[in-house]
């Protein structure tokens, strides 16, 4: 907000202006009061965009009519002014108005004013040329172009809300369940069980926490949505015949570390699927990060680049899906369906033979790499491999394919393929995957500088060749993509058995939770299958950020003055000031690439940029090019040297990398933290679920690997909880994160702590069975109704959730089971490991010992790896099984009156055993294809009957106690 009280236009950055002498400010949208000036509104309506860019509410008809009359009666000079303003709209995007206060840097203001004057003079000349050219176009040609422009102005996507017949009952049940919970807890707290007070108190505390976690998980799903894209409209707008393709370029990031754990053939399939994607080849670049500096990865990429010359044209000629050869040739389907070309069968057989030969060569490289020579690896020219020491080696970059390099077998260009291994030196913190991704950001900015980035894990291939076009329907839509930081695709997996014993597919999370978040501020970043806006990764705020009034900020300042200033608060204020300076700079320097060296020196504050981005003028200049691209004057040899410089191990020191820009450091789950920081700046994300899954990957399917994966995720959440980025207290000053979104992020960091009450609640039933006590008093009629209402609301909530999400009951049940399995094992260890790491600096690791697996399609499912994570659930299972046996034995001994209380106690124990049943099967594994679970149940039943037999003791009658003594004497006991 300016000091005069007149807001700034969020399109051009100028003052909105007044409509009369009374001081009334012009309002374009009366629904949300989105600040847009009259000139921008006229241009938007003229271009066919008659809706508010924030809330999509159509503009007032009176405003449109006045705009049309003004256009008809305008003088040619007015048309020139509109043309100038139109160019400003299309090239300059503003930041939050708080960055435009009169208290700014006067040096910046003088530079900006001079820059604007030069810019406006150039645009007036260009606009005159445009008007003259438009006058020379014949009327017949103008009439033909109008329908085409109208079609191109249509939205590229639309929101499909969940039908009211499904979502309204769902919301009603949520509210009813919340009311029932309140009444239930009132009853539980006011009716303690005096005979088992400790057990009752523990159970009530656990139930309160479960209710709190349910609220955190449920309310972000209040407004789920679906989305639909229009790929034909995208092509009509940006791929017109006879004109250069206007689709935005995309840089793909693929990261790998150890080729022995991440097979090179899997990484190669991911790379091949990227190179063959259905997108203009000059717009695609693939960067492979080898964080282990392995010569095996380098040589396998060399083989892959050679095979790509044959594979890419084959895929595009016959529209192959998927375009990862390993998964295409192994899928079971009729490959002749819809393939009408006579040559397809012959070429497919030849290509499969070529792929088998390629696999032999790659596997030979893997076999050769099993034993490292004493002197280290040597390259083909006889020089030592620079990465022989994985922890101490220089940065390495190799461009295998490129726009002006090797062509495919048909003579066409191929996308760029670049191998990158950043510098590693002892004594430097490299930040694992997050550091490798940040290195790729800088390398790609220097070499190609695409405005969008897509990152994939090495085991996630492109399953839908049109996935990038799906994302561009959001990012390149002027009405949608202005404030979108990333488009997230769901994760889908291959190689999982149909029963999905350990919920590897995460269907509930990807098809329920993420749809709910998409209706608020967008889904969380899950680490792979994400298309980023590069400007968002640089730490900039969105161009159409809502205005933050000074009154709110001054109020918060007053509140802070009441407390003594601390060093931490001052540091945070300093960081905010640096971010404001950076945003102001990017606003004023949108088109700096159009100026000569002298003008650049006047406009760039080199020192402030270097403190943020590092000591690379080439990279800093690339950050100012909002639409991407490399300057035409760039020398390729110079760019390679600069790319080597920006991946140096000391480049990030004393910069904002990993703190405010790029992938954020401080957690093993850097994905959650990175997305959270972006949305705190005001960005939103979008969830895209095409009918054909965009990407597919592999997941650990055996029990031990799955639990360690969950352990790593939970550990990252605990690290975020104990850091300054905790959603409970971070990012309140800007007010840009919606409350339901903050609730969702809070849920992502506190869910590991549910393991503590969950373990206690799983042990309480067994203790009740062993001690004969119970946590619930004798139920009255009202209490029975409350319990029945609670159980019914839980069931109905699940049923309605399944209805609007479209997932199956089996997937929902597997998710419930693994929630208990992971909660009592991996989440518990993550809590203790997180506290030890963050508070005491002790980093603990849990050893994993593998046993042999069966040969078969799902042989890995039966691999058993013993680890300490398995101890808590195993103990809970044994305790509950023993408790059930003891409970039945006690009931048989006491008589008919004991069976009633027994059923209530046994119900909770069976609830625990039923949820841990997949864990029990995984614990037992499979030997010689004989289900050992049968042996377990046999032993269990034998133990039950044995204990019952001993408890009853049919050889002794209870009426004659002397017989017992006599028997003992006779058998000399």
855 is known as an active-site residue: no
Compute the C-alpha angle 407/249/273, nearest 5°: 55
Tabulate helix, strand, coil % of the chain (nearest 5).
55, 10, 35
905 is in an annotated binding site: no
Contact 54, 90 (CB under 8 A): no
Sequential DSSP letters for 522-582: -PPP-SSSEEEEHHHHTTPPPTTPPP--HHHHHHHHHHHHTSPP-HHHHHHHHHHHHHHHH
Distance (Å, whole) CA 753 – CA 213? 10
459 is known as an active-site residue: no
Enter the DSSP assignment of 219: G
Sequential DSSP letters for 632-650: TT--HHHHHHHHHHHT-TT
Contact 716, 672 (CB under 8 A): yes
Per-residue CA distances from 929 to 9, 658, 747, 858 (Å): 71, 50, 41, 12
Contacts of 468 (CB under 8 A, 6+ apart): 250, 277, 278, 279, 454, 531
Compute the C-alpha angle 852/937/709, nearest 5°: 45
The backbone region for 687, taken as left when phi is positive above 0, alpha when psi lies in -120 to 50, beta otherwise, is beta
In a 3-state reduction of DSSP, which class is residue 417?
Answer: strand
457 is in an annotated binding site: yes
Radius of gyration (C-alpha) of the chain in whole angstroms = 33
Contact 438, 662 (CB under 8 A): yes
Q: Is the peptide bond before 322 cis (omega within 30 degrees of 0)?
A: yes
Sequential DSSP letters for 722-739: TSTT-TTTSSTTT--S-H
Residue with tokens 């950020």: 545
511 is in an annotated binding site: no
Q: Which member of 459, 671, 705, 811 is catalytic?
A: 671
Closest CA to 870 of 496, 507, 502, 498: 502
Q: Please give the backbone phi and psi of residue 638, each rounded to the nearest 5 degrees, phi first.
A: -70, -40
Closest CA to 892 of 945, 846, 932: 945
Closest CA to 53 of 64, 61, 41: 41
291 is in an annotated binding site: yes
Burial 180-208 (b: 16+ CB within 10 A, else e): bbeebeeebeeeebeebeebbebbbebbe
What does the block give as tokens for 546?
């809502």
List the helix and strand counts (H, then E) for the chain. 35, 15
Compute the C-alpha angle 598/602/603, nearest 5°: 115
Compute the C-alpha angle 893/894/900, nearest 5°: 120
563 is in an annotated binding site: no
Distance (Å, whole) CA 243 – CA 824? 60
Closest CA to 237 of 250, 249, 247: 247
Contact 454, 440 (CB under 8 A): no
413 is in an annotated binding site: no
Cα separation of the two ends of the chain: 94
Distance (Å, whole) CA 571 – CA 108? 24
Q: Which member of 42, 96, 290, 291 is catalytic?
A: 291
Distance (Å, whole) CA 502 – CA 136? 69
121 is in an annotated binding site: no
What does the block give as tokens for 854?
């069966």
Distance (Å, whole) CA 204 – CA 218? 21
| Binding annotation for UDP-alpha-D-glucose | 255, 261-262, 291, 432
| Binding annotation for Mn(2+) | 433, 457
Catalytic machinery residues: 291, 671
| Binding annotation | 255, 261-262, 291, 432-433, 457
């Amino acid at each position: 907000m300016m000091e005069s009280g007149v807001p700034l236009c969020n399109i051009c950055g100028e003052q909105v202006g007044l409509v009369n002498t009374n001081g009334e400010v012009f309002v374009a949208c009366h629904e949300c009061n989105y600040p847009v000036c009259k000139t921008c509104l006229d241009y938007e309506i003229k271009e066919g965009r008659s809706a508010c860019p924030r809330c999509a509410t159509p503009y007032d008809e009176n405003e449109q009519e006045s705009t049309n009359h003004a256009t008809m009666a305008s003088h040619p000079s007015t048309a020139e002014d509109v043309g100038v303003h139109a160019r400003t709209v299309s090239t300059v995007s503003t930041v939050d108005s708080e960055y435009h206060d009169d208290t700014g840097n006067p040096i910046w203001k003088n530079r900006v004013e001079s820059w604007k004057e030069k810019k406006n003079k150039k645009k007036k000349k260009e606009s005159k040329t445009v008007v003259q050219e438009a006058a020379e176009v014949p009327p017949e040609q103008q009439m033909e172009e109008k329908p085409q422009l109208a079609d191109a102005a249509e939205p590229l996507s639309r929101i499909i809300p969940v039908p009211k017949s499904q979502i309204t009952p769902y919301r009603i049940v949520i509210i009813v369940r919340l009311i029932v919970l309140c009444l239930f807890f009132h009853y539980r707290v006011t009716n303690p069980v005096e005979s088992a007070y400790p057990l009752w108190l523990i159970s009530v505390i656990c139930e309160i926490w479960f209710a709190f976690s349910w609220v955190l998980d449920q309310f972000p799903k209040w407004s789920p949505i679906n989305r639909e894209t229009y790929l034909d409209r995208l092509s009509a707008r940006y791929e017109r015949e006879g004109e250069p393709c206007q689709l935005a370029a995309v840089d793909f990031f693929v990261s790998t570390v150890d080729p022995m754990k991440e097979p090179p053939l899997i990484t190669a399939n991911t790379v091949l699927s990227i190179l063959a994607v259905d997108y203009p080849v000059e717009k695609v670049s693939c960067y492979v990060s080898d964080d282990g500096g392995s010569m095996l990865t380098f040589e396998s990429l060399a083989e892959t680049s050679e095979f790509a010359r044959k594979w890419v044209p084959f895929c595009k000629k016959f529209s192959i899906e998927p375009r990862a050869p390993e998964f295409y040739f192994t899928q079971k389907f009729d490959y002749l369906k819809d393939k009408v070309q006579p040559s397809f069968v012959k070429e497919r057989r030849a290509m499969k033979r070529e792929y088998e030969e390629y696999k032999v060569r790659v596997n030979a490289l893997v076999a050769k790499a099993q034993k490292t020579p004493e002197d280290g690896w040597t390259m083909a020219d006889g020089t030592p491999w620079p990465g022989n020491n994985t922890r101490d080696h220089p940065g390495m970059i190799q461009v295998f394919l490129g726009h002006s390099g090797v062509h495919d077998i048909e003579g066409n260009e191929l996308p760029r393929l670049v191998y990158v291994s950043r510098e590693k030196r002892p004594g430097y913190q490299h930040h694992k995957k997050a550091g490798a991704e940040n290195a790729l950001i800088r390398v790609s900015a220097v070499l190609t500088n695409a405005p969008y980035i897509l990152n994939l894990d090495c085991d996630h291939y492109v399953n839908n060749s049109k996935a990038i076009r799906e994302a561009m329907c959001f990012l390149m839509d002027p009405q949608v993509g202005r404030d979108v930081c990333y488009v997230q695709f769901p994760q889908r997996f291959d190689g999982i058995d149909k029963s999905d014993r350990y919920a590897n597919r995460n269907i509930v999370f990807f098809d329920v939770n993420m749809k709910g978040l998409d209706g608020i501020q967008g889904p969380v970043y899950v680490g792979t299958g994400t298309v980023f806006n590069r400007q968002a990764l640089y730490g900039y705020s969105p161009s159409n950020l809502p205005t933050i009034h000074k009154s709110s900020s001054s109020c918060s300042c007053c509140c802070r003055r009441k407390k003594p200033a601390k060093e931490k608060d001052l540091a945070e204020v300093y960081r905010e000031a640096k971010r404001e300076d950076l945003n102001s700079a990017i606003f004023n320097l949108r088109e700096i690439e159009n100026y000569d060296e002298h003008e650049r020196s006047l406009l760039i504050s080199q020192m402030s940029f270097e403190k943020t981005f590092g000591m690379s003028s080439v990279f800093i200049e690339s950050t100012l090019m909002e639409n991407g691209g490399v300057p035409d004057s760039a020398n390729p040899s110079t760019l390679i040297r600069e790319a080597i410089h920006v991946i140096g191990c000391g480049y990030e020191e004393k910069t904002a990398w990993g703190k405010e820009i790029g992938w954020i450091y401080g957690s093993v789950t850097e994905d959650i933290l990175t997305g959270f920081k972006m949305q705190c700046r005001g960005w939103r994300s979008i969830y895209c679920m095409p009918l054909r899954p965009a990407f597919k990957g592999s997941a650990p399917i055996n029990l031990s690997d799955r639990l360690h994966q969950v352990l790593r995720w939970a550990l990252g959440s605990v690290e975020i909880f104990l850091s300054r980025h905790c959603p409970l207290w971070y990012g309140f000053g800007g007010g840009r994160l919606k409350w339901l979104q903050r609730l969702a992020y809070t849920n992502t960091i506190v869910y590991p702590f549910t393991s503590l009450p969950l373990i206690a609640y799983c042990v309480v039933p067994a203790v009740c069975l062993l001690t004969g006590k119970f946590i619930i008093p004798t139920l009255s009629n009202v209490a029975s109704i409350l319990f029945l209402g609670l159980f019914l609301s839980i069931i109905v909530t699940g049923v309605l959730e399944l209805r609007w999400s479209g997932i199956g009951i089996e997937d929902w049940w597997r998710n419930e089971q693994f929630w208990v399995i992971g909660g009592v094992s991996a989440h518990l260890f993550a809590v203790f490991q997180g506290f030890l790491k963050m508070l005491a600096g002790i980093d603990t690791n849990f050893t994993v010992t593998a046993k042999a697996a069966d040969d078969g399609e799902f042989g890995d499912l039966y691999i058993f790896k013993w680890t300490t994570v398995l101890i808590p659930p195993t103990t809970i299972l044994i305790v509950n099984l023993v408790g059930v046996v003891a409970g039945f034995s006690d009931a048989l001994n006491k008589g008919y009156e004991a069976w009633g209380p027994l059923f209530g106690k046994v119900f909770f124990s069976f609830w625990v055993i039923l949820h841990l049943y997949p864990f029990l099967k995984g614990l037992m594994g499979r030997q010689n294809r004989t289900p050992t679970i049968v042996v377990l149940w046999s032993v269990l039943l034998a133990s039950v009957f044995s204990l019952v037999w001993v408890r009853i003791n049919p050889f002794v009658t209870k009426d004659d106690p002397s017989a017992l003594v006599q028997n003992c004497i006779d058998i000399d006991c």
